[in-house]
Amino acid sequence: MTGGPAGPGPYNGCVPRGATRIVPLGGLGEVGKNMTVVECDDGLVIIDAGLAFPRDEHLGVDLLLPEFTYLREREADIRAVVLTHGHEDHVGALPYLLREIAVPEIWATRLTLGLVKSKLDEHGLLRAAELIEIEPEEGAVQVGPYRAEFVRMAHSIPDAVAVVLETPGGRIVHTGDYKIDHTPVDGFRTDVGRLAEIGNRGVDLLLGDSTNAERPGVTPSERTVGDAFRQIVPLLEGRVLIASFASNVHRMQQAIDVAAETGRKICPIGRSLRKNLNIAKSLGYVDVPENLVVRPGDLAELAPEETMILCTGSQGEPLSALVRIAYGDHQNVQVQEGDTVIISAKPVPGNELKVHDTINRLAKGGAEVLHQEIAPVHVSGHGNSEELRMILGLLRPRCVMPVHGEYRMLSAHARLARDAGVPARQIVLAENGSVVELSDGAASIVDRAPAGVAFVDGLEIGDLKDVVLRDRRHLAEDGVVIVIATIGSQNGREIAAPEVIARGLTDPEPVLGEARDEALRVLEKCVADNIGELKLIQEHLHDAVGQLIHARTGRRPMILPVVLEI
């Protein structure tokens, strides 16, 4: 198997005539921020433009994006962006890309375009590029310098496709995310017949989803989750809360169907979930009877056995609907004895502790929590090893480049390709920034391109140096205020009066006294509202003290709330 990138020098950008170069800018050695460039001497096409979400160590960072340096240097050569499906790790970076770089065309299926249009509209970029709908059944079309075909693939969101490109270096198939689901909720199976036909024509390079390459067997059908809902929900006498990814339209449809069958009203909670549900409904991907939906403010009028709440927060995000409910910080819903919470998602690596904390808090409030470890309430949208073997058998590629996954997943996919008869020298284990050249039925790493991560804070994009410089500038101009609060770990009540320390403020003493009183008021309100989650308390302290100091001084110092449990 081909290993790391050859040559330490910067990529010179020259693509030999008759060859094609594939440059992954994200999604290799990680789960998230998927972006792959397919380039020839007539221009380049970008497949997917995804983001990743920060972990706890990314302090002050909202989103992680692929580094755009490579694309910025070749802006004149960009012909199109092709999106395989509507998940954030494949489309979330698109607005930030269009803010910096001109892209003539964006190709996507109907639902993906609907989600993208909403996203671009929020950023004021709806007219930044021509939006073209992909219709997989219509055959080949011209996308930039390539003849392209699109093949339907089953996934955890409707309208996912694989991308087939006829390039000077050979025929390339990018699977996107997929599973082999023979009973999908929307009836659109992975089109194995088209894949077999393409395999008969010959595939020179396969870029294959590697997420579940280590898992044996096959991934269960999405319908098994609906069957589990039908077994669980009719037996429950209290409220039912179902938390899932906001983009999992199939999961929402199955929950809605069960609600209708059991006489429950549904209440969607969470901005992204409501938005995606409305888009999917308007495009015909979800069937929601009008008389079935209630607003959060109307929940108090329903009996517990008449209620089903659909919400975000399956990953334990601090400000999500489920976490606010768990910690008593939601204005309309509080967890209560007799509730059943179904977490219909698997924690993304790095989110496990947040999810466990949320489960513990829900259980403390009297709810029974069901998750994939104890009930069949979630299945993956990615194929397991036997499904990857099937794709390898259908396409019979000359070369294989595993994509979409951590290195251990890429390596497991490479072993599957080797077992399927692909020569080791034709299996490319690349990383972000590897320049892979395809020519005359052979693929190898020939160079290295600039690749990395860009951090988003609000609407600003930059590398880590920019974040550090911005923080230093903020401290120099407006100073810093540290709010220290001590609470009891058992009862959540304050043990000592808050302490407020200021540095860099002119004559701070008058306002510090008011800041202490304001911090104490916030803590007392959190105690009264039974809010004990530290990040939520810190958020309330940050907002209240920051607003007070700005009102009194006209300055916006950096507010650092510190909440200690004793």
Range(s) of the chain covered by CATH 3.60.15.10 = 20-217+380-457
Find out whether 115 and 158 touch, Cβ atoms under 8 Å: no
Most confident range (mean pLDDT) of 11-15, 179-183, 202-206, 336-340 is 202-206
- Whether 517 is catalytic is no
CATH fourth-level superfamily of 223-370: Metallo-hydrolase/oxidoreductase (3.40.50.10710)
Find out whether 509 and 521 touch, Cβ atoms under 8 Å: no
Q: Which residues contact 292 (CB under 8 A, 6 or more apart)?
A: 256, 259, 260, 265, 266
Split at pLDDT 50, 70, 90, the class of 11 is: very low
Q: What is the CATH number of domain 463-565?
A: 3.10.20.580
Measure the N-to-C terminal CA separation of the chain; round to a whole number of Å.
54
Which candidate, 156, 143, 252, 142, places its Cα nearest to that of 209? 156
Mean of the per-residue pLDDT values for the chain?
Answer: 89
Q: Considering the candidates 181, 209, 357, 447, report the single residue annotated as catalytic.
A: 209
Secondary structure, 3-state, 494-539: EEEEEEEEEECCCCCHHHHHHHHHHHHHHHHHHHHCCCCCHHHHHH
Which option is the CATH number for 20-217+380-457: 3.60.15.10, 3.30.420.10, 3.90.1150.10, 2.60.120.280? Answer: 3.60.15.10
Residue-wise pLDDT tens digits, 248-301: 889 999 999 999 999 999 999 988 899 999 999 999 999 998 899 999 989 989
- Which one is predicted more confidently, 516 or 94? 94
Residue-wise pLDDT tens digits, 228-250: 999 999 999 999 999 998 888 89
Q: Is the pLDDT of residue 439 over 80?
A: yes
- Which one is predicted more confidently, 57 or 130? 130
Q: Is the pLDDT of residue 303 over 70?
A: yes
- The pLDDT score that the predictor gives to residue 452 is 86
Find out whether 447 and 435 touch, Cβ atoms under 8 Å: yes
Residue-wise pLDDT tens digits, 81-99: 999 999 999 999 999 999 9
- The pLDDT score that the predictor gives to residue 1 is 59
Q: Considering the candidates 382, 404, 413, 540, report the single residue annotated as catalytic.
A: 382
Residue-wise pLDDT tens digits, 270-280: 888 999 999 99
Range(s) of the chain covered by CATH 3.40.50.10710 = 223-370
Range(s) of the chain covered by CATH 3.10.20.580 = 463-565
Centroid of chain to Cα 168 = 33
Half-sphere exposure of 520 (CA within 13 A, CB side): 11
CA triplet 218, 252, 243: central angle to 5 degrees? 90
Residue-wise pLDDT tens digits, 440-487: 989 999 999 999 888 776 656 665 556 655 666 667 677 888 888 888
- Side chain identity at residue 552, one-letter code: R
Q: Which residues contact 295 (CB under 8 A, 6 or more apart)?
A: 267
> Residue 82: beta bridge partners?
47, 107
- Which one is predicted more confidently, 354 or 7? 354
Which candidate, 125, 155, 134, 121, places its Cα nearest to that of 47? 134
Q: Is the pLDDT of residue 6 over 60?
A: no
- Whether 209 is catalytic is yes
Of 10-24, 292-306, 370-384, 390-404, the least confident: 10-24
- The pLDDT score that the predictor gives to residue 5 is 39
